[in-house]
Chains A and B, each alone.
Chain A
Amino acid sequence: MKSKTLKVDYLARVEGEGGLLVKISGKKVTDVKFNIFEPPRFFEAFLRGRLYSEAPDITARICGICPVAYQMSSVHAMEHAFGVTVDGQLRALRRLLYCGEWIESHALHVFMLHAPDFLGYADAIQMAKDHGPVVQMALKLKKVGNDIVTLVGGREIHPINVRVGGFYKLPTKKELETLVERLKWAVDASIQTVKFTAKLPFPEFERPYEYVALRHEQEYPFNEGRLVSNKGLNIGIHEYENHFMEEHVSHSNALHSILKERGAYFVGPLARYNLNFDKLTPAAQDAAKSAGIGKGTNNPFKSIIVRAVEMLYACEEALRIIKEYKIPEKAVVDIEPKLGTGYGCTEAPRGILYHRYRLDERGIILDAKIVPPTSQNQKTIEQDLREYIPSRMNLSQEKLTWQCEQAIRNYDPCISCATHFLKIEIAHE
C-alpha cells in the first residue's frame, strides 16, 4: 500500500512557531498532528503574586498582534472580581480600541497572510509584484487600525493606556475626530476588500461545526455578552470552566481545549459572524450578502470574507463611537480590591479569549488561567485536515502541503498566544 508523509517543519505566515505532520496510508489519513513547539511561556505562573493592576500590561505581552484582547479580558476579569462595572463613554472607548485591533489584525491576515494562498503566491512580497495597489491598500487599512490603537491605547503595539477601571489618559473629542476622514476611507476600502475576497477561488469544504462566540443583546460582540453556540450552549462567562476543559496532548506545547460534552469547537470570525449576523451594520450585512455568504457559511475557507466584513463593521463602529463621544469626567472608576475570583472573556480577532484570576483581599493574584483562541481551535484544525485531505490524495505532495497550510490559516492561528510558532509534515506510510 502506498503511503506518504506530508511534513511542514516550519509553517510560514502564522503568528509564532509550529508545524504540521500528516500521515497517510493508502487513501486513509492515519494521523494529523498540529504541532506547537514554541516553548510554553508560563505567563499564568508569571502572574502569581503580582498585583491585579499589573495583569493588563503583563498579559498584553503574550501577543504582538492582539495585545488589546489580553488587556480587555484581564480588565473585565478584575472588574468582575471587584464588582465594578465600567460603562458609558469609558466602555465605548474600550470598544473603539478593540475596533483598532480588529482592523490591524484582519487587514494583516486577509492580505498579507491568507490571500497569497488563494492566489498562488508564496508570500505577500510575491503577490505585491502583481497586485501592488491591493497591497498598498492593505498597508493603509492596517495603518488606520494602528492609528486608533495609538491614539486610544498610547502606542500601536502593547498599548499602555489601559487600566482596570478605565484608562490612564482620555483622548479628547478633537483628537478622536482626527481619525474620521481616515476611517471613512477605510469603510470604502473595506467594502473593496469584501469584493476582493469574494472573488477568490474557494475549495468546496463544509463541516457541521459547533461555533462558539460571545453574543450581546445590542451589539456585535467585542467585550461582553454570553457565551453561546449553534448547538445549545448559552452560559455566563463565569460558567466557562463548567463546560470547557483543556487537555494536554504530547505533540503540542499548547493545551487543547474541548467542550466537555461535545468535543472540538470553532471560535473566531466565522463563529462570531454565524452567531451574530443580525448585529452587524446594514452596510456590513449587505456587503456579506453580495459576497455570497448570506447569514452564515460552514466553509472555513470563507473566513477570509468574514474577516473583511468584520473589518468593515469595525470601521463603521469606530465612526459611530467617535461621533457619539463625549469626554467622561473621570478616566477611571474607583477600584477597591477584594478577595474573590474574576472571569473575563472578550472577542480577540481570532476568537474568544478567556481569563480567570483568583485574588486575595489586597488584589494580589493567587492564580490565573488564560485560554487563548488558538488553543481552542487546535482540535478543529486537526479534524478539518483529516476530512479535507482524503478527497485530495491525487494532488502532488507540494500542492497538498500548500492546501493544508491554507486550511490551517483559515483560523489565523496565533501560536505565540497558544503557548502563551508552524512547520507541516505529511507522511505516507
Chain B
Amino acid sequence: MIEKPSEGSKNLIENNLRKTLFVGVGNEYRSDDGVGLVVARKIHEKLIPSVTVKEESGEGAALMEAWQGFQNVIIVDAVSSGAMPGTIFRIDANKETVPIKFFHYSTHAFGVAEAVELARVINTLPSRLLVYGIEGAVCTAGVKISSIVKEAANQVIEQIMREIETANQ
C-alpha cells in the first residue's frame, strides 16, 4: 500500500520543488577548504525566501540526502585541481561529469563528485544541479581564508544570485 503524504508533508514537498537549495560544502578548520561554508553563510544572510541554505561537510551520502525533494540545487565547494588559486569552476552536472580529482581535498572517500555521479547512475540527480568549485590556495589546519579565495567567493556569490533570479523567473 502506498502511504498518502500528509497535507503538511505535501506542502513541504511542493514548496521544496519550487525552491532552490544552496549547499555550502567544506571544513571551516582547514583554511580555504571552508570557502563553501563562507559562501553559504553570506547567502543565508540575504534571507531569500525562495532559497534554502544548508551546510555540509561533503560526505556524499549526506549530500544525496540533502538535495532530495529539490529540483534546483547549487553546490559550492573548494577544489584542488592544480589551477591558479581563486580559479572558479562552474559545472552543470546535468550536462557534464564532475571530475572526481577536483574535489579530492575532501578527506571523504565518498565526496561531492562521487555523490553526483552515483546519483546520476541511480536516477536521483536533481533536475538542475550546478556545482561551483573554487580553487583553494591553502588547505592546512587553520580558520583563515586566503584573500584571493575570498575574492573568488564574492564573485561566486554574485553569480549565484543571478542563477537564483533566473531560476525564479
Q: Show the binding face of A for B, using Cβ within 8 Å.
A: 12-17, 39, 41-42, 46, 61, 63-65, 108, 112-113, 123-125, 128-129, 132, 135-136, 139, 142-143, 146, 156-158, 416, 421
Contact of A39 among B61, B121, B140 (CB under 8 A): B140
List A contacts of B110 (CB < 8 A).
108, 112-113, 124
Chain B positions near chain A (C-beta within 8 angstroms)? 27, 29, 56-62, 64-65, 107-110, 114, 117-118, 121-122, 140-141
Point out the residues of chain B lying under 8 angstroms from A64, CB to CB.
Answer: 27, 57-59, 107-108
Selected contact of A156 from candidates B60, B62, B117, CB within 8 Å: B62
- The reply to whether A146 and B121 contact each other, CB–CB distance below 8 Å, is no
Per the bound structure, the CA–CA distance linking A421 and B62 in Å amounts to: 21
Complex CA gap A135/B64 in Å reads 12
With A and B bound together, what is the CA distance between A142 and B59 in angstroms? 11
Complex alpha-carbon distance, A123 and B60, angstroms: 14
- Residue numbers in B under 8 Å from A156 (CB-CB): 59, 62
**CB of A16, distance to nearest CB on chain B (Å):** 6
Contact of B114 among A124, A158, A416 (CB under 8 A): A124
In this complex, what residue of B is CB-closest to A107?
B61
Docked pose: A158 CA to B110 CA in angstroms: 17
Q: List 17 A-B contacts (CB under 8 A).
A: A14-B109, A15-B108, A15-B109, A63-B107, A64-B27, A64-B58, A64-B59, A64-B108, A108-B110, A112-B60, A112-B109, A112-B114, A124-B118, A139-B64, A143-B61, A146-B62, A156-B59
User: Which residue among A136, A157, A158, A421 has the maximum number of chain B CB atoms within 10 Å of its CB?
Assistant: A157
In the complex, which residues of chain B have a beta carbon less than 8 angstroms from the beta carbon of A16?
Answer: 107
Residues in A neighbouring B61, C-beta threshold 8 A:
108, 112, 139, 142-143, 146
The 10 closest A-B pairs by CB, nearest first: A157-B57, A128-B121, A416-B107, A142-B61, A125-B117, A15-B109, A112-B110, A125-B118, A13-B109, A64-B57
Closest-by-CB residue of B relative to A417 is: B107
Chain B residue at smallest Cβ distance from A124: B118
Q: Which A-chain residue is minimally distant from B101 (CB atoms)?
A: A10
Central interface residue in B56, B110, B114, B118, by most chain A CB within 10 Å:
B110
One of A14, A132, A143 near B122 (C-beta < 8 A): A132
- Bound form: Cα–Cα A63–B108 in Å: 9
Which residues of chain A come closer than 8 Å to B60, judged between CB atoms?
112
Question: Contacts A13-B109, A42-B141 given: A125-B57 contact, CB under 8 Å?
Answer: no
- Most B-side CB within 10 Å, residue of A39, A142, A158, A421: A142
Best-surrounded residue of A39, A64, A142, A156 (most CB of chain B within 10 A): A64
Given that A42-B141, A416-B107 are known contacts, is A146 also in contact with B65, CB under 8 Å in the complex?
A: yes
Chain B residue at smallest Cβ distance from A422: B109
In the complex, the chain A residue whose C-beta lies closest to that of B57 is A157
Residue of A nearest to B141 (CB): A41
| Chain A, Cβ-Cβ closest to B121 | A128
What B residues does A63 contact at CB under 8 A?
A: 107
- Give chain B residues whose Cβ lies under 8 Å from the Cβ of A135: 118, 121-122
Contacts of B62 in A (CB 8 A): 146, 156-157
A132 with B108: CB separation less than 8 A: no
CA distance A14 to B56 in the complex (A): 20
Contacts A39-B140, A64-B108, A416-B107 given; indicate if A128 touches B65 (C-beta within 8 A): no
Q: Is the CB of B59 within 8 A of A157?
A: yes
State whether A421 touches B122 (Cβ < 8 A). no
